[in-house]
Amino acid sequence: MREYNVARRRMVDEQLRERGITNQAVLQAMAEVPRHLFVPPGLRHRAYAACALPIGFGQTISKPFTVGLMTALLELQGGERILEIGTGSGYQAAILSRLAAEVVTVERVIALADSARELLTAFECTNVSVRAADGLDGAPDRAPFDAIIVTACATEVPQEMVNQLADGGYLLLPLQRQNDQVLYRCQRHGEQLRVSASLPVGFVPLQTGLQEARASA
């Protein structure tokens, strides 16, 4: 719909470009993916606002700037295999699918994984596979990953993610630090991780185990 296209163009200009995101491929992907279809129908009119929105089960779709920033920090060239922990709505995965070769995304709330899978299939994101599982285990059968992006807040760097990261690859994750959340970009060098960037963010917490509840909470 035309109003959504106008709102999406403004989102890219005002929330991304004017706030310092310059990566053309990221801007283009976010200009093309219909974010309003990844939020609950009752919230579509706010889909392009500069805020996170509830998607049910106590979870949220991240605000556009956070999605743009995290995607840009991955510095994707197009040939990468990426692991995302925290599929949520599937929006971040849809953006990544346009910028990388393969995306494996893991979600612990089965109902969210199901609806994201349906949406991503409808958008013909054929290079994305959605898994309902505890993302803390990663996806060992597809490792190593050129990049790993965690879209829920951890308290420490999960060792399994380091194990599944290719040498030279980036691990992007928010960590709880006292009362603040900080986004870290870590690059693997052999058995070491080098932290190269950090910014304040606000994510839902990373939880453990699979959640089978079907009712939205």
Catalytic residue numbers, as ranges: 62
Please list every residue from 75 through 104 that binds ligand SAH, using CB under 6 A. Answer: 85-86, 88-89, 91-92
State how beta strands 59-61 and 53-56 pair.
antiparallel
Pull the structure tokens for residue 122.
């409808």
Select the residue interacting with ligand SAH from 44, 72, 99, 107 (CB under 6 A).
107
Least Cβ distance, residue 51 to ligand SAH (angstroms):
13
CA distances to 107, 193, 207 from 163, rounded to whole Å, are: 19, 11, 20
48 touching ligand SAH, by CB under 6 A = no
In the DSSP assignment, the letter for residue 33 is S
Amino acid (one-letter) located at 24 = Q
Q: How far apart are CA 31 and CA 158, in angstroms?
A: 33
60 touching ligand SAH, by CB under 6 A = yes
* Binding segment (CB under 6 A) for ligand SAH, from list 2-10, 54-62, 138-146, 159-167: 54-62
Least Cβ distance, residue 132 to ligand SAH (angstroms):
9
**Residues 93 and 105 sit within 8 Å (Cβ to Cβ):** yes
Select the residue interacting with ligand SAH from 152, 165, 186, 201 (CB under 6 A).
152
Please list every residue from 183 through 212 that binds ligand SAH, using CB under 6 A. Answer: 204, 206-208
> Which residues have C-beta within 8 Å of that of residue 43, sequence separation ≥ 6?
53, 54
108 touching ligand SAH, by CB under 6 A = yes
**Residues 119 and 186 sit within 8 Å (Cβ to Cβ):** no
Q: How many residues sit close enough to ligand SAH to count as binding (CB under 6 A)? A: 24
Pull the structure tokens for residue 127.
């290079």
136 touching ligand SAH, by CB under 6 A = yes
List of residues contacting ligand SAH (CB under 6 A):
59-62, 85-86, 88-89, 91-92, 106-109, 112, 134-136, 151-152, 204, 206-208
